[in-house]
Amino acid sequence: MAIASVPLRILIGKVGLDGHDRGVKLIARALRDAGLEVIYTGLHQTPEQVVNTAIQEDVDAIGLSILSGAHNTLFRRVLELLKEQEAGDIVLFGGGIIPDEDATALTADGVKVLFGPGRPIQEIVTFVKGLKPHG
């Protein structure tokens, strides 16, 4: 496989209190295998940590896994902080147990896409690989 000259950089992590990290690790690994540079932050991140990390690492996108039910608060807080830091061009996407009506509202507010349970991992890889590098 040809190595892309400038790999996309992406932050993958979990925000909030739930500790179910099997899925997020699978996704981090799949994106690595797809040729991306994946900054994996691990569990229990706050939105503030996520946004500071994203800026220091100069990532093109942030992917967050939330299985705690606190998705409405957490995704919106990340969007708000990105805007505050004038980093609104960093794409935010996510996954988790998120009811359809919440997902619709969150995507309307600026979350690029939400992947629910059962979506094939290749779909996530295809989405991320389709993102444009910034700068």
Partner 1 sequence: MRSLGSHPFQCDIHGLKILAERVRAGNVRAVSRLISLLENHPGGREVLRLLDGTTRAMIIGVTGYPGAGKSTVVTRLVSFYRRQGLMIGVLAVDISSPVTGGALLGDRIRMQEHALDHGVYIRSMATRGHHGGLAQATGDAALVLEAAGYDVILIETVGVGQNEVDVVDVAPIVVAVVAPGLGDEVQAMKAGLLEVAHIVIVNKGDLPDADNTLRNLREWCPNVLRTVATTGEGIPELAAAITAYQQSRAVGHVGEARNC
State the Cα–Cα distance between residues 107 and 114, nearest whole angstrom: 8
Q: Is the dihedral of CA 4, 128, 77, 117 positive or negative?
A: negative
Q: What is the DSSP letter of 18?
A: -
H or E element in which residue 50 lies: helix 47-57
Query: By CB under 8 A, is residue 118 in contact with partner 1?
Result: no
Q: Which of 27, 34, 66, 113 binds partner 1 (CB under 8 A)?
A: 34
**Least Å from the CB of residue 17 to partner 1:** 15
Nearest distance from C-beta of residue 99 to partner 1, angstroms: 29
Beta-ladder partners of 13 = 42, 64
Residue placing its CB nearer to partner 1 in the complex, 40 or 97: 40
Residue 134 to residue 67: CA distance in whole angstroms: 29
- Identify which range of 33-41, 74-82, 94-102, 111-119 contacts partner 1 by CB under 8 A: 33-41
Q: Does 122 bind partner 1 (CB under 8 A)?
A: no
Neighbours of 16 (CB within 10 A): 21
Between 37 and 102, CB nearer to partner 1: 37
Extract the tokens encoding 125: 């890889």
Binding residues for partner 1 (CB under 8 A): 1, 3-7, 9, 28-29, 31-42, 45-46, 48-49, 52-53, 55-58, 85-87, 89, 134-135
